Chains A and B, each alone.
Chain A
């Protein structure tokens, strides 16, 4: 079952009680790719993962591994590794027996089972804990066992269901690097589910943004970061300022918008014409205090290490989130600007 050149999801749909949890996901995964399914909770990303693993039957559509139809194959015969959100380690088996479980299910020779188990355990650096039960390990160690158990079979596809969501912030960063390192060294095709855009951007080769069971955008981290396809993706990718405005003038790709006492130049994403209602999306880090621009009053200042996160309000009471290098005083009046290329204008 290992080794395929592409895995194709063709209009995969899953209904729960008459409601679409996943409405027609079509996606081609190339060998060795790291795909992140990204979206808020309830967007259908875990449903998609369970459909891929074979733990949920499809309501419609099909899954193909090259020319083999996969969605009718039971999970135990798909040969995919899966890392569960709560790790799902077998509590009655030692770390070693957890990791070797899949190898034993394949009835591999004893020597090979031992060798590959040892390799996987040392890959996640748990040699000292191999004889312990999962209950005796910390959360991060349990996570590493779960990963070792999934990758020891060298599966054609590794599925990860929010594997870092139960860890604290520091461990989450470490494990993120660890997962990326494993992917680089083993080259395993991976589908990774997360609601954390930063995690998805840093890990994945391609991202699939889902909302209400539908695909909003598929693209590389750069594409999603710089050119979100619509306002929902923009919202999810950290465009914190979403200002409802009206188009004043269009000059090619550059449009001038105004509303709420603010006038801005921005870049149109999609068709917009003069007089249209639009949403202007700007990241806080692209909105800077400068000598010219929109006058605002500083309201809240948060220290964030290198810089300050500022919430300010325009004369008409619209809140703006921006970054500043020096601490502005609350109540101070400043002017803010953004480069037209970093102001994205979406039709509503």
Chain B
């Protein structure tokens, strides 16, 4: 009798021990649902992490010049090195303008009013167009025989067409047109996350319109502006199609991505191409780190709104 008793009890204690162990794991967030992560994780590893690591590795294996040969080649050649300054010269002003232009427009549009949806749609349409269509539009509109120049000449403001395409300005306009909707949408959502009664409270305390914006809304919005700036900057920094289509890809708008493309697919120097891509990433990271470092000095807590 006693023998069968122990036989029956043994599996029971076993199961309960296993259940307890499973409970302890579940408390730390480890359960079978974790298996659902596997397909996503596999994709990330195979399509992003591995090629990324491979590219970094490749950049340290040039045909000549040792481990840092490709980097040395990039930084010693002024034609290559200057692409960083060219790209920053395009991306920083474009990102700043996009953020700066979005703030007043989003500020005016944060309440409810008739036709808000239509206006938002119009402002957001450029996202859906893509850079190529934007570039084509710019060429047609701002080009030497475009409506803009014809209008200028018809009114007698200039004698000859103003050059606004196939140079710095063409790329800059393209970056503003495609980057503005992102900045605007982000800032609008940050602004509607700020409780509107805060400004009303400031008004009852004697703050005028300008003071209310400067002392209440702007400090609460600033962290959002920093984040928005980082995102639009990264978008603008990797400019490639518009730099080629509406820019001057051999001269004033020879951006980093063009340099990388040339190295890899025209000179077939993969290590140099990879090195340029790595340099590009590091420059972006430095700018983002500086901006986020400044952001961390600001108040980043709750803003009382609907989030």
Which of B204, B211, B298, B301 counts the most A-chain CB atoms under 10 A from its CB?
B204
Cross-interface CB contact of A92 among B202, B205, B299, cutoff 8 Å: B299
Q: A88-B195, A91-B220 are in contact. Are A105 and B206 (CB under 8 A)?
A: yes
B200 on interface, CB distance cutoff 8 Å: yes
Q: Mark B118-152, 1 if CB is under 8 A from A, else 0.
A: 00000000000000000000000000000000000
Total CB contacts across the A-B interface at under 8 A = 75
**Given A84-B197, A92-B299, A135-B302: A101 in contact with B219 (beta carbons within 8 A):** no
Q: Please state if A76 and B197 are interface contacts (CB–CB under 8 Å).
A: no
Chain B's nearest CB lies how many Å from the CB of A130?
17
Contacts of B200 in A (CB 8 A): 53, 55, 75, 84, 88
Most chain B CB within 10 A, of A74, A80, A90, A101, is at A90
How far apart are the CA atoms of A149 and B303 in the complex, in Å?
Answer: 19
Are B301 and A55 within 8 A (Cβ)? no
Nearest-neighbor residue (CB-CB) of B298 within chain A = A92
Check: B201 CB closer than 8 A to any chain A CB. Answer: yes
Inter-chain contacts of B208 with A (CB < 8 A) = 76
- B304 close to chain A: CB less than 8 A: yes
Contact residues in A for B96 (Cβ distance below 8 Å): none
A74 and B203 alpha carbons, distance in the complex (Å) = 8
Beta-carbon contacts of A82-102 to B below 8 Å, as 1s and 0s? 101010111110000000011
Across the interface, which residues of B come within 8 angstroms of A101, CB to CB? 202, 205, 207, 215
Which size bracket describes the interface of B in this complex? 20 to 34
Q: Does A347 contact B (CB under 8 A)?
A: no
A135 touches which of B203, B219, B301 (Cβ 8 Å): B301
Main secondary structure of the interface of A (DSSP, over half): loop
Which A residues contact B (CB, under 8 angstroms)?
53-55, 74-82, 84, 86, 88-92, 101-102, 105-106, 133, 135, 149-150, 153, 159
Given contacts A88-B304, A91-B301, 12 further A-B contacts (CB under 8 A): A55-B204, A76-B204, A78-B204, A81-B205, A82-B204, A91-B198, A92-B219, A92-B220, A101-B202, A101-B205, A133-B299, A159-B204
Q: Are A91 and B299 in contact (CB under 8 A)?
A: yes
Judge if B235 is at the interface, Cβ distance under 8 Å. no
What 0/1 pattern do residues 208 to 233 of B give for CB contact below 8 A with A? 10010001100110000000000000
A78 partner residues in chain B, CB cutoff 8 A: 204
Whether B302 lies near A105 (C-beta < 8 A) is: no
6 nearest interchain CB pairs?
A92-B299, A102-B205, A105-B206, A88-B201, A82-B204, A75-B203
The smallest C-beta distance from B230 to any residue of chain A, in angstroms, reads 21
